[in-house]
Amino acid sequence: MPTSPLIACHDCDLVQQEVPLPVGGVATCVRCGAPLYRSSRFGKSYTLALCFTAAILFVIANLYPIIGIESQGNRHQSTLFGAVQTLWQDDMALMAGLVFVTILLVPAVELALLIWLHLTKHLTSGLAPIALRLIVAMQPWRMVEVFMLGLLVSVVKLSHLAHIVPGIALWCFAALLPLFALLNTAFNPRDLWAAMPLKQ
């Protein structure tokens, strides 16, 4: 009987034994060559530091104005949540909901759960597997990159009509882009699954 765990390929469903990997290594399916799992080259403290940094920037980005518009001596500024409220009040409930969920709610919940999970004592909690599944399920719905792209396009178009003043929140969201990219690289759900105690 094999002593090492078994894993099924997500592409061809071939069941095969897991093998130990060097740091930063990737195991591939023997049949189709699809990646099965990888060994993280970053420690838990590195991932936790990224989470805390991203969380601080995220809080600042939601407390301060994201952009200001100066026209005829008047300046109008708004936070991201203020923009969501404006969309809601202008009968664009669907757009307001999408922005709130993908730009505000999902990143906030994801960062909170990542920080909670990377505190070692919480891996023994019965809620840890649920939290980990929730993080993996939410990741495709975090669309900070799409939001920044749309915002930059809007800024370019509005620059012909008024003077655009970037707010502190805009720079924070810009800094969040590489941080989230680093988190995607550093965060390895497999490591957390392995650290969770098995139920008897």
Please name the residues in contact with 165: beta carbons below 8 A apart, sequence gap of 6 or more: 67, 68, 69, 70, 75, 77
- Residue 198: the pLDDT is 55
**Is residue 86 located within the same domain as residue 1?**
no
At 22, list the tokens. 């060097």
Does 200 map to a domain?
no
Q: Is 171 within a domain? A: yes
Give yes or no: residues 6 and 54 share one domain. Answer: no
Quick one: 11 and 48 in the same domain? Answer: no
Q: What is the 3-state secondary structure (H, E, C) of 13-61?
A: CCEEECCCCCCCCEEECCCCCCEEEECCCCCHHHHHHHHHHHHHHHHHH
Residues 50 and 4 in one domain: no
| 81 shares a domain with 24 | no
In a shared domain, residues 73 and 106: yes
One domain for residues 65 and 157: yes
Same domain, 169 and 79: yes
pTM of the model: 0.78
**Using CB atoms within 10 A of its CB, is residue 3 exposed (0-12), middle (13-18) or buried (19+)?**
exposed
Q: Are residues 21 and 58 in the same domain?
A: no
Q: Are residues 50 and 31 in the same domain?
A: no
Q: What pLDDT, on the 0 to 100 scale, is given for residue 22?
A: 79
Q: How many domains does the chain have?
A: 2
Residue 69 covered by a domain: yes
Question: 19 lies in which domain range?
Answer: 1-39
pLDDT tens figures, 154-198: 777 777 777 778 889 989 999 999 999 888 888 877 777 766 665
- Asked if residue 56 and residue 24 are part of one domain, the reply reads no
Kindly state whether residue 164 falls inside one of the protein's structural domains.
yes
List C-alpha distances in Å: 184 to 22, 42, 79, 86, 107: 20, 12, 27, 32, 13
Name beta bridge partners: 78: 67
Amino acid at site 70: E
Same-domain status, 104 and 30: no
What's the average pLDDT block by block, 10 residues per block, for the chain (200 residues)? 72 86 82 82 82 95 87 78 89 91 93 87 76 88 86 78 82 92 82 64
Q: How far is CA 13 from the centre of its chain?
A: 28
Q: Is 25 within a domain?
A: yes
